A and B are shown apart, each in its own frame.
Chain A
Amino acid sequence: KNQVEQSPQSLIILEGKNCTLQCNYTVSPFSNLRWYKQDTGRGPVSLTIMTFSENTKSNGRYTATLDADTKQSSLHITASQLSDSASYICVVTRSGGATNKLIFGTGTLLAVQP
């Protein structure tokens, strides 16, 4: 079954600290994996996108890793800021020939406290 699981479900950290969010997937055939940030009341915004051959990709203080063999990905946030408080969603694209399907995780809710 094509699924994306994220952990932890929620996380509270102090401003300035680092954190790592996890994503495990069973989606096949795999096309790409994306991490989105969703602020409360807004639509998701893409942070990174990685294909099968990419192991790591950075976007400022966000660094995503992908292990296609174990079907795991992580999102590392460095020197967290209050504005990082949001839901982080892992999305895996399942190849479907002419059309692809996005499989969403349920997200990790991150709260950064001063």
Chain B
Amino acid sequence: EAGVAQSPRYKIIEKRQSVAFWCNPISGHATLYWYQQILGQGPKLLIQFQNNGVVDDSQLPKDRFSAERLKGVDSTLKIQPAKLEDSAVYLCASSLGQLEAFFGQGTRLTVV
């Protein structure tokens, strides 16, 4: 089966600019996660969707980060405006019920 697809793989932007990441989960997976992974650390959950509804966005910096999941399938994560500390790898994952989560390759964001 096809895995979780993310794009772009890499992105370099200047601080205060905007950026958007895209994720296509595995077909049929109701749960979709966005994680932020800073170098040398474990992934930190930003937002979790169940179909197209948000079930956990407690750690999402809502003043600059936003995410949506159109029709319960694809998802986009946006940062506006970006700060230097947003430099990280942004991972998207999907799962079917309580089974294991499958991760995409991630988008490496560098803010200069």
Q: Which residues of A contact B (CB under 8 A)?
A: 31-32, 34, 36, 41-46, 49, 89, 91, 93, 95, 98-102, 104-107
Identify the closest chain B residue to A31 (Cβ).
B98
Listed from nearest, the 4 A-B pairs whose CB atoms lie closest are A43-B103, A104-B42, A106-B42, A99-B55
Which B residues are CB-close (under 8 A) to A36? 103
B45 touches A45 (CB 8 A): no
Determine whether the beta carbon of B100 is less than 8 Å from that of A104: no
A49-B106 CB under 8 A given contacts A43-B91, A101-B48, A104-B42: no
**Would A100 and B105 count as touching, CB distance under 8 A?**
no
Q: How far is the CB of A100 from chain B (nearest CB, A)?
A: 6
Asked whether A46 lies within 8 Å of B42 as measured between CB atoms, the reply is no
Q: Mark B70-100, 1 if CB is under 8 A from A, else 0.
A: 0000000000000000000001010000111
Residues of B within 8 A of A89 (CB): 42-43
Q: How far is the CB of A16 from chain B (nearest CB, A)?
A: 27
Give chain A residues whose Cβ lies under 8 Å from the Cβ of B103.
36, 43-45
> Secondary structure at chain A's binding surface: helix, strand, loop or mixed?
strand
Q: Are B42 and A102 in contact (CB-based, < 8 A)?
A: no
Report Cα–Cα, A53/B106, bound state, in Å.
33
Asked if residues A102 and B56 are in contact (CB atoms below 8 Å), the reply is no
Question: Are A102 and B33 in contact, with the CB atoms below 8 A?
Answer: yes
Q: Quick check: B43 and A44 within 8 Å, CB to CB? A: yes
Q: Which of A32, A42, A106 contacts B106 (CB 8 A)?
A: A42
Q: Do residues B45 and A102 form an inter-chain contact, with CB atoms below 8 A?
A: yes
Which A residue sits closest to B101, measured CB to CB?
A: A102
A101 in contact with B45 given A42-B105, A46-B102 (CB within 8 Å)? yes
A105 near B98 with CB under 8 A, answer no
Q: CB distance B100 to A105 under 8 Å?
A: no
Q: Which of A41, A99, A100 contacts B108 (CB 8 A)?
A: A41
Q: Beyond A34-B101, A49-B99, A104-B45: 11 further Cβ-contacts under 8 Å?
A: A32-B98, A43-B106, A46-B100, A46-B101, A49-B100, A89-B43, A91-B101, A99-B50, A99-B56, A105-B42, A106-B42
Given the interface pairs A102-B45, A105-B42, the reply to whether A43 lies near B56 with Cβ below 8 Å is no
